Structure 1
């Protein structure tokens, strides 16, 4: 499938809000238990994976998001007893993308010397005829010269809208199907969380219904520098982080 750029801005009557959720895996066509579990699958499930950054459950990161569990969690799978081998960003994201432990995929920390964003391990799985879309933060060092520059697209992605470098909301660059796309500080055109959300919706609208799809949406929010959209900047001004685990 030829990769074509999707919309470039976020100003749209279709804006449906910024994506924000704990890592959630939507599987709309889940198999049921019993005899049906043994039946052969004729068509793979569609997959939507939303990965937010530093959305800490201990600090109550999901508490203000009343609709997230109903609209996303209850419609898919929520991992309530999940663990990560390392609390660092690059090793954890690499494990999500490869299904391997850090000692197997070789990413030790968030630096290039620690193998973060090294194209050498990004071989990608067989696509199995999936239409694939990625938007947002990939790995901390993505786009650097020693990591393949902005032209590097890991194998397996049809539509690629990756943030160059680490978490930013304005004044950043994207690799859009291997070509650099620079953004400024205008909310309507550049606010990253909304921009990649709307591009993911465009992908869903334009995809082929004959083939399954895999969509990975990876906003840097709520990672520092904590730049909220203008309409949300005062929403939680009086909220304090909990001092214990009683959430």
Structure 2
């Protein structure tokens, strides 16, 4: 790849533009690239919530990331499960394009990733082609086991956790570059990942003495994911001994959607019974264990930042703190877990600091994991591939809408093996200065609609009472986004209105378009399947093809 014409300096200028930039073509003057290539350090946790306040219990994340960088508070995973979410993070594609849609075979896991040759063209390879060395330590995706430790393309140092040591906090198992397994019985997993990461930084510092040698370092502890026992049972995460007595009075925030008396949802969620007092007590214990397990991660953050600073690397390094998907505990009577399109499961932390990134800033433009590769490539001054489904986080020409999708059973974590079928859905999130909307179509032919400015906790499904003209526009977006690729995902209004006159929902709501939208076919599933089948969903003959 060649250096992008816009370069790092131009990107940082764009980063300072306000969220309210109009959705129209922008042609900034490209200054020459004068900066040396920046480094990237990504701390990727597992199942960390954005909406249950876990970040409030991480003082080092606040000191080193929130206070020193920009927080994207409307940042989302578009498939609330570890494997599809992590693959989207590195490929810049929605799950319907990379088709890793589950945790295990045949529809997910590292085996599915390998079968699709997805490491032929993804962020580590694109960076490596431009002189980066790439390093990964910690959890990758499920399916890395004793029979399958081969490193994917693009990594110079690939040291993943290996099953059954991925979700065991006190008996981690690693493999280096596809080599033999190395077990560490009795060693706390996050502390070991910290030590391995600090040693890797030391090695990178020595390498830099030979030349520029920019690097990507990914540090991925399993916390605060549940621990998984040999029989497949999920139990609360295990904190380090030094943290096991912290926060004795902490409990899940009692937001209006916590175990609500009235449950106005769809399908199996609607029919869930109220949580019992004993279950609520278990949920609060689970919450405390999650917070405690994150303390070692918080200390890891402090150690890594101090190590970078001690070696004069901070000034030319972008640091990212994020997770793969969100988590619910008691919201909408859901005991514990993910895999639904509710806001707790899909809205996740994303914080970035580095050269030119504003400090103590909050940005509310909508963004997803699919935006991550474009962001890294832009900050590195590297030309983006054409198949990315999203723009940079700092691109003023951002989209206001994106698709959330899932095709699998929902299984309950926290000690239960209960599974809920018919959990396949397509959901739309549309976020702008004026609108904050959620709309979903389920495989059961049920629908949901929430104006999140009025009903942020998704308590009252307003689909039957919503303005039909508005729903017609949202239906059209779902039709376009459900199988979109590349530019169509980035700019769906251009597909719906090929004359280029509509750039936003406000434009589309002009009454002159009422008849056009009313006549469009609506999205639907033919049946409930636990895998992505393009022929099973759509709107018949698409009017936009």
Identify the TM-score tier after normalising by the shorter chain: 0.7 to 0.9
Structure with larger Rg? 2
| Structure 2 residue 181 is the aligned partner of structure 1 residue 181 | yes
Distance in 2 (CA, whole Å) between partners of 1:164 and 1:82 is 29
Q: Which among 208, 218, 221 is matched to residue 223 of structure 2?
A: 221
The offset of 1:42, in angstroms, is: 4.3
Residues paired across the two proteins, number = 211
| Structure 2 residue 59 is the aligned partner of structure 1 residue 66 | yes
1:161 matched residue in structure 2: 159
Distance in 2 (CA, whole Å) between partners of 1:216 and 1:30 is 26
2:85 matched residue in structure 1: 92
The offset of 1:31, in angstroms, is: 5.7
CA RMSD of aligned residues (A): 2.4
Q: Which runs of 5+ in 2 are unaligned?
A: 1-8, 15-27, 228-236, 257-455, 457-545
Distance in 2 (CA, whole Å) between partners of 1:71 and 1:172 is 27
1:9 matched residue in structure 2: none
- TM-score normalised by the chain length of structure 2: 0.36
Q: Secondary structure at the match of 1:57?
A: coil
Superimposed CA distance per residue, residues 47-80 of structure 1 (whole angstroms, 9 cap, x where no aligned partner): 0111101111111111111221221234444322
Superimposed CA distance per residue, residues 174-226 of structure 1 (whole angstroms, 9 cap, x where no aligned partner): 1112113332432xxx2211111111111111212221110011100011121
Residues 133 and 200 of structure 1 are in contact (CA less than 8 Å); yes or no, is this contact kept in structure 2?
no
Q: Which has the higher contact order (CA 8 A, sep 6+)?
A: 1
Residues 173 and 180 of structure 1 are in contact (CA less than 8 Å); yes or no, is this contact kept in structure 2?
no
Q: Which among 248, 251, 257 is matched to residue 240 of structure 1?
A: 251
| Structure 2 residue 102 is the aligned partner of structure 1 residue 122 | no
Residues 171 and 184 of structure 2 are in contact (CA less than 8 Å); yes or no, is this contact kept in structure 1?
yes
The offset of 1:131, in angstroms, is: 1.7
Query: Structure 1 pair 143/30, CA: closer, same or farther in 2 (3 Å)?
Result: farther
Residues 171 and 182 of structure 1 are in contact (CA less than 8 Å); yes or no, is this contact kept in structure 2?
no
Between structures 1 and 2, the one with greater helix share: 2
- TM-score normalised by the chain length of structure 1: 0.77
Q: Secondary structure at the match of 1:38?
A: coil
Report matched runs for 1:40-59 at 5 Å.
Answer: 40-59=33-52
Superimposed CA distance per residue, residues 102-134 of structure 1 (whole angstroms, 9 cap, x where no aligned partner): 111110111121132131322242312112110
2:332 matched residue in structure 1: none
Q: Secondary structure at the match of 1:199?
A: helix
Distance in 1 (CA, whole Å) between partners of 2:66 and 2:213 is 24
1:206 matched residue in structure 2: 203
Residues 161 and 176 of structure 1 are in contact (CA less than 8 Å); yes or no, is this contact kept in structure 2?
yes
Q: Secondary structure at the match of 1:33?
A: helix
Query: Structure 1 pair 30/76, CA: closer, same or farther in 2 (3 Å)?
Result: farther
Distance in 1 (CA, whole Å) between partners of 2:59 and 2:30 is 33
1:139 matched residue in structure 2: 141
2:13 matched residue in structure 1: 33
Q: Which moved more, 1:200-209 or 1:46-55?
A: 200-209
Distance in 2 (CA, whole Å) between partners of 1:133 and 1:205 is 13
Residues 87 and 100 of structure 2 are in contact (CA less than 8 Å); yes or no, is this contact kept in structure 1?
yes
Distance in 2 (CA, whole Å) between partners of 1:222 and 1:82 is 19
Distance in 2 (CA, whole Å) between partners of 1:30 and 1:48 is 22
Distance in 2 (CA, whole Å) between partners of 1:237 and 1:174 is 33
2:190 matched residue in structure 1: 193
Q: Secondary structure at the match of 2:190?
A: helix
Residues 30 and 45 of structure 1 are in contact (CA less than 8 Å); yes or no, is this contact kept in structure 2?
no
Query: Structure 1 pair 30/163, CA: closer, same or farther in 2 (3 Å)?
Result: farther
Q: Secondary structure at the match of 2:51?
A: coil
Distance in 2 (CA, whole Å) between partners of 1:134 and 1:74 is 26
Distance in 2 (CA, whole Å) between partners of 1:58 and 1:213 is 32
1:230 matched residue in structure 2: 241
Q: Secondary structure at the match of 1:133?
A: strand
Q: Which runs of 5+ in 1 are unaligned?
A: 1-28
Query: Structure 1 pair 222/179, CA: closer, same or farther in 2 (3 Å)?
Result: same
